[in-house]
Amino acid sequence: MKLRTRVLLLTTAFALTLLAITFGLSFHQSRVIMSAGLAVAWIVVICSFAGVQITLRKVVRPLEQLARAADRIADGDLNARAPVAGDLEIAQLGTAFNHMADKLRAHARTDDLTDLPNFRAFRERIDAEIERAVRYPEQFGILVLDLDHFKLYNDRYGHLAGNDALQRVARALRIAVRAVDFPARYGGEEFAVIVPQIGAAALATIAERVRALVESLPAPAGGALVTISIGGALYPEDGTTVDALFHVADDRLYQAKRDGRNRVVIPVPARRSADRQSA
């Protein structure tokens, strides 16, 4: 029994004893009054305990959980969420916190300049795509795109014009790919696309559509036309890890640069067969 409870009961018993002595009550009457008084005291103790438990369950514990979620977000875990429980005000606080966490997570995975998913979001998505492809064996492709002569473009027309070129390429990329595809700004002047459930020929077709759309973009006032080079790779034919796929796609991207830029390098099965026969 806690000290506060003992003090309350002893104080109640002492007060009732004084009351009995003061009014000259009989022993039996004193016992009845004392028993009733102690019963009331126990009821007060039980109600107080119940009130504390209700407060803990509805207010304190949800607030503690919300504080732990805030600590996790501060440590970089943007998947942390607060419970939406307790009294109405506490539940509203949890909902507002989770809404803020969703915005933080989206912002952390979005490129500020182009509004495309960024490198972090792309790596998370391709890891998930590989896991899915292992579970349900099927192909998917990646495209790696790089603006041609972008450093010279920046040096000649300035960084604002360079940023505008990146934004125009990002918009064209969104238009040219399918709704299920995942375009992202991979870094600098480089973009990448995850293309689910696709073969080599269809992957090359999408890449060529992107290249042609970028080439067709009108030059801004005082600027110049922008072109891109594209390399692609297929899972699992060209690799079964992220690094292996990017190694192949990057090699093909640089081949496109060496071959004159503004082109796509994605070998399709017919071309691969012809290459083996000629060898």
Active site residues: 189
Which residue is it, tokens 């796929």?
Answer: 245
Q: Taking the alpha carbons of 240, 246, 249, 252 in that order, is the dihedral positive or negative?
A: negative
256 neighbors 246 (Cβ within 8 angstroms): no
What strand order describes the sheet that includes 228-235? 182-187, 190-196, 140-147, 228-235, 264-265
Token code pair at residue 211: 């290249």
What three-state secondary structure class fits 203?
helix
Give Cβ neighbours of residue 116 (< 8 Å, ≥ 6 apart). Answer: 110, 170, 173, 174, 183, 184, 185, 191
